[in-house]
Chains A and B, each alone.
Chain A
Amino acid sequence: MEDNRNIDQLFRERLGDFEKKPNPELWSQIEGRLDNNKKRPFAYWWLYSGVAVVIIGFLLVPTLFENPKKPIQKIEQNITTAPTEDKLKQKDTITVFEKQPNVVNEAKENTRIAIQKKPIQKIEKPELNIHEKEEQNLRTPSSRIALSSILIQKSNSLSYEDAIVETPLQKKKEKSLVNLFDVVNDKDSLTDPTENTKKWAIQPTYAFTSSQSFNDASPIDRLLQSNPKSGSNASAFGISLTYKIGKKWAIRSGIHTHQAKFSTRNVNVVSGVTSSGLTGVTNTNNSLLVSDQLFVADSTTVSTLLNLNTSTMLVSNNAVIEHQYNYIEVPVEFRYDIFNKTEYSLGVISGISALFLNKNMIQLLLTDSSYLLGESNNLNSLNFSSNLGIDFNYAILENVYLNVNPMFKLHLNTFSRDSNGFRPYFWGVYSGIKYQF
């Protein structure tokens, strides 16, 4: 009994106040896990904001559609009114020409008829102020004097008709008509800029992307939590379609490839583990079976195994576990013009992407060989990302633009479970030639 107390005492004395500073790396891991707990609301906020942008976008569509319609209608009016006007004027000129020798009174009568004949045209008049002015300028002082008496008799709004009728010289008439044509043409070109008619744009896209994580967590296994990790760069291809829904707004969709690739370095791989050693190893959950021969283990397990079993060999202590998963990405994004000049434009793009998993692979890379470990069993087949970026267009030809579009994409539900706090995000520079049609 005394012996027993001595043992208790010995351990209590020596280890009772035993202290040991934990590895500083541990703090970053704890921080990562705590951050992860806190980041969840942030991620939701991000998702909600993405959804909100889409909803607001759709709500804006009808209101935005109304604005561009108005100018279009105006253009149509101009186009339809212009020829009828000309016809009428030509009629006028003919009548005027015929009745030129007649007295002012007769002319007066004629104009009255003309006025009665053209009640529809009156409505269109306010829009044709420019024509009127043009006309007035062309009028000779003499005709103006002749006109004055008639003008008094008639209402002001009809002065335009009178002017046409009263002008005595046909040459001038013709001139003014030619001018009118010019004005109408000019007007068309003014109110009809190319941007309004070319609503669609298509763009083959190439992107340089990079996979990153907010922390050093491993979604593969907790065993690899402390190993150094890095995201890899990749390329993405796709095609995107943009539709202009307003002066400053556009909606963009398309289809892209999207690759995620993460490497875990300094992985210990051991071989020659006998089945007796294996049970202990699998129970402690400190190793992963690679094949019948190879195991991935943490450093402590490796040293234990090496001590236990002479047949155990450390195959590598700097192997790499590569986790690659690819998606087909379908984004729905809204673009807002910050400024828009004829040769270049800059806009902000925000939206969400649906990501459909189409490749999932985990490989173990040794210096001279590689093993397919299998596929990750905790990846969701449908993932979403929230996107934010800047869109820059530079006109290189008419309707052809060089597009550069850096994007940040935060993945929202990559893993169904056991991600160990791993939070991936992506940035990429998307570029391509945009064609407007």
Chain B
Amino acid sequence: MFSGKLFGLCLKYAKNYPDAEDVLQDSFVTIFEKIHQYKYQGSFEGWAKRIAINTALKRYRSQSKLQIVKEIETSEEVTLEVDEVIETDFLLNSIQELPDKYRLVFNLYAMDHFSHKEISEMLNISVGTSKSNLSRARLILKEKIIAHRKQQEKA
């Protein structure tokens, strides 16, 4: 089944593991409920993926107001706990630790090839905000990778 792929996607869009599980659960419930709406246009996987993305967006769009910028600082501490050997896990964690808006924009643009215009419509933000969020996300990720490499060199 494509559940592995879908859960992978949820993990990227969610900020942590339990959140990803929640998103996956909600996605599957939606998929089963709306299965009759699937018109065999395009791949089923793509359709399911789109539902998962929408579910994740819905979740963080509504919660975004409660976002605290301070979280970036605290999350860096957590990064140090990550097992250095597993690079993929480190990358995933880096994404997950991004603030909600940055993470969503980065995922949509870099991973799922949406344009800034599409993203701005999906997230109800301006194209400018989408662009700046993307560059900030990249910046944070870059810093994290550099910090990570430095740490590996030390070790």
A8 sits at the interface (CB 8 A): yes
- What 0/1 pattern do residues 297 to 314 of A give for CB contact below 8 A with B? 010100010011000000
Within 8 A of A (CB), among B87-116: 87-88, 91-92, 95, 106, 109-111
| Known contacts A8-B138, A30-B29, A308-B77; A14 and B91 CB within 8 A of each other | yes
B42 within 8 A of A: no
**Alpha-carbon distance between A222 and B18 when the two chains are bound, in angstroms:** 11
Tell whether A280 pairs with B32 under 8 Å between CB atoms, given A7-B141, A15-B88, A304-B78: no
Classify chain A: how many residues form its interface, as a range.
20 to 34
> Total interface residues on B, using CB and 8 Å?
43
Assess whether B5 is interfacial by the CB under 8 Å rule.
Answer: yes
Q: Does B54 touch A at the CB level, under 8 Å?
A: no
B135 touches A4 (CB 8 A): yes
The prevalent SS among residues of B at the interface is: helix
Report yes or no: B78 in contact with A22, Cβ–Cβ below 8 A: no
B106 surroundings in chain A (CB, below 8 A) = 11
Residues in A with CB closer than 8 Å to B77 are 307-308
Q: Is the Cβ of B111 less than 8 Å from the Cβ of A15?
A: yes
Query: From DSSP, what is the main secondary structure of chain A's interface residues?
Result: helix
| Residues of B19-70 contacting chain A, CB below 8 A | 21-22, 24-25, 28-29, 32-33, 63, 66-68
Partner of A283, one of B17, B68, B95: B68
* B152 contacts partner chain A, Cβ-Cβ < 8 Å: no
Instruction: Kindly list chain A residues whose C-beta atoms are within 8 Å of the C-beta of B8.
Output: 15, 17-20
Interface pair A280/B110, CB less than 8 Å apart: no
Binding site for B on A (CB under 8 A): 3-4, 7-8, 10-12, 14-23, 26, 29-30, 33-34, 37, 222, 279-280, 283-284, 286, 298, 300, 304, 307-308
11 A/B residue pairs, CB under 8 Å, sorted by A: A4-B138, A10-B145, A12-B110, A14-B87, A16-B111, A20-B7, A21-B3, A34-B32, A298-B18, A307-B81, A308-B74
> Could you list which residues of chain B lie within 8 angstroms of chain A, going by C-beta atoms?
3-5, 7-9, 11-12, 15-18, 21-22, 24-25, 28-29, 32-33, 63, 66-68, 71, 74, 77-78, 81, 87-88, 91-92, 95, 106, 109-111, 135, 138, 141-142, 145
